[in-house]
Amino acid sequence: MRAKEIGTVHIGGRLTVDDVAAVARHKARVEFTQEYEDRVVACRKLVDKFSNEERVVYGITTGLGDNVDKYVGREERAAFQRNTVLSHAASVGEPHNEECVRAIMLVLIQHLGSGYTGIRLETVETLRQLLNAGVVPYAPSHGSVGYLGVEAHVALTLIGEGRAWYGGELLDGAAALRRAGIQPVVLEAKEGLSLVSGTTSTTALASLAVYDAVSLAKTADVSGSMSLEVLKGTVKAMDKRLMDVRPHPNQGATAANIRNILRDSEIQKKYDDHRVQDALSLRCMPQLHGAAKKLIRDSLETIETELNSSVDNPLLFETQDGAGIALMGCNADGAYAGTASDAICIGIANLAKIAERRLDRLVNHHVSELPPFLSSSPGVNNGFMIPQYTASGIMGELRLKAHPATVDNVPTCALQEDYVSMGYNAAYKAYSCADLAKYIFAIEIMCATQAQDFFESLKPSSATAAVRRIVREKAPFVDLDRNMHGDMEYIAGLVRDGGIVDAVESQIGPLLF
């Protein structure tokens, strides 16, 4: 994935998680295709038609939730849509960071413009202007059962309410719009409902989570190869013949990556027959990495389908007789993106747990055949003793987050919504899992890099040496004890931004996934 190289994302065709990361994280501009604009305009005509005919349609001429049997008159409909945004903006706690809010805004544009929601072009155009101008709504991150709350806080800025960041300053929504030169939207029939409905926030956070999970999975092959190399492990456990008789594609791809990463390592070649077989954390990388990658790949497919779905309620369809129809259903349910997010958490936690065991072996002289805690002068110096504690603590957090959120249920809306997906909680923790796990792989890479320096007469592979070079740019060899917090944050940044994978791929070509 190279989302950071994308300058503009065009909305109208198929959207990918790479596109989401490009806009959310790397500030790519957003533009609409003519097809997008045409289908938005065409569907809006159905809303106007239904409203003018006083047809009974949920959210247009009726109230919401348990108020579905309450009629909303023509003169009340604009106020009703504004009230929907105001009343639904009930999330609490710390706000989402900028990239999460930008992802939510992009996915909102994508979902609203599917051609079945009835949104006005002026409304999604204003959302696009907010993204391109760098206006970031203040969206508290807690209190969603799958939709509604977080989206409503984003919509507040759209109508000149709430708060938003602009130019690094937190302002009230109206002031942020004025400074950006953007006019607030006056909502019309159905628009308030469409802005808060759907799987927007769940899909957006899940998109960022799976984007990072793919990168972490590739990084795990790199960090694991580095550990195998300096722990004098054998690549015989990665033999293609072993993989072929258990033909899971992700397992075979992992083994191929490890063989390729270490193909020219003098260290590995010298010690290939050093022991009969290695510990499972080294020997079992193809199997466990492969299983985790399958979960992540399956989740990626699910999330990209969700990105390109219409998830509002109701959805509007043209009919041959020209009357049109509004179908009330539940495409707004977050179970798909939610369960995919739960699977991402499990996949990441499994990749992290085996990495933590490998890095423990690196610092444990009882099994590593390396200096205690990788210190050249142990005793007075603690070396890399405590970074392993850090990894263990983070692993504890990941285990908690790996518990599925989507099995939970708390009825809402006077039992009109007696089942809720809890998909948002799953996606939120998946995003958090990816952010936390990067530190475990960073610490493993930091320790393996230190270990390389104890093999003075033998060269590491060109791929692992490339990683060592980029690590050593800001994280020098640790001789005497010093504060290593900066080293870990630097390497974690390389993991998150793809720098570790890029360094390896510059030597051996693309890693398989």
Mean pLDDT of 314-338: 94
Averaged pLDDT for residues 65-82: 82
Domain boundaries, the chain: 3-197, 206-312+330-508
- Summarize the confidence of residues 157-162 as an average pLDDT: 97
**Average pLDDT value for the chain:** 95
DSSP category for residue 414: G
Per-residue confidence (pLDDT) for residue 213, from 0 to 100: 98
To the nearest whole percent, how much of the chain has pLDDT over 90? Answer: 87
Instruction: Considering only residues 348 and 55, tell me which one the structure prediction assigns the higher pLDDT.
Output: 348
Identity of the residue numbered 232? K
Residue 1's pLDDT is 42
Alpha carbons 163 and 179: distance in angstroms, whole number: 13
β-strand 29-32 against 140-142: which pairing, if any? unpaired
Residue 303 has pLDDT above 90, yes or no: yes
According to DSSP, the residues that pair with 169 across neighbouring strands are 166
Give the confidence band of 93 by pLDDT, cuts at 50, 70, 90: very high
Q: How far apart are CA 273 and CA 80, in angstroms?
A: 74
Helix ranges, 262-334 (H): 266-270, 280-283, 285-307
Banded model confidence at residue 3, pLDDT cuts 50, 70, 90: very low
Angle between helices 77-88 and 149-158 (to 10 degrees): 120
**Stretch 480-496: mean pLDDT:** 97
What per-residue confidence (pLDDT) applies to 5? 56
pLDDT at res. 2: 47
| Model confidence pLDDT, tens digit, residues 362-399 | 999 999 999 999 999 988 999 999 999 999 999 999 99
- CATH superfamily to which 206-312+330-508 belongs: Fumarase/aspartase (Central domain) (1.20.200.10)
β pairing state of 136-137 and 163-166: antiparallel
pLDDT digits (tens, 9 = 90+) for 245-274: 999 999 999 999 999 999 999 999 999 999
Q: What's the Cα-to-Cα distance from 40 to each of 62, 391, 501, rounded to whole Å?
A: 23, 49, 40
Say if residues 153 and 139 touch (Cβ distance below 8 Å): yes
At residue 443, does pLDDT exceed 50? yes
Distance separating alpha carbons of residues 292 and 213, to the nearest angstrom: 10
pLDDT, residue 34, reads: 98
Superfamily of segment(s) 3-197: Fumarase/aspartase (N-terminal domain) (1.10.275.10)
pLDDT of residue 37: 98
The pLDDT value recorded for residue 259 is: 98
Mean pLDDT of 197-223: 97
Q: At what angle do helices 462-472 and 249-261 cross, to 10 degrees?
A: 80
pLDDT tier, 145 (very low <50, low <70, confident <90, very high otherwise): confident
pTM of the model: 0.95
pLDDT band at 6 (very low <50, low <70, confident <90, very high): low
Give burial (CB, 10 Å; 0-12/13-18/19+) of 466: buried
pLDDT value of residue 33:
98
Residue 22, token pair as written in the block = 């490009």
Q: What is the pLDDT of residue 453?
A: 95
Structure confidence at residue 68 as a pLDDT band (50, 70, 90):
confident
Token reading at 444 = 């493993």
End-to-end CA distance of the chain: 11
Lowest mean pLDDT among 64-78, 204-218, 273-287: 64-78
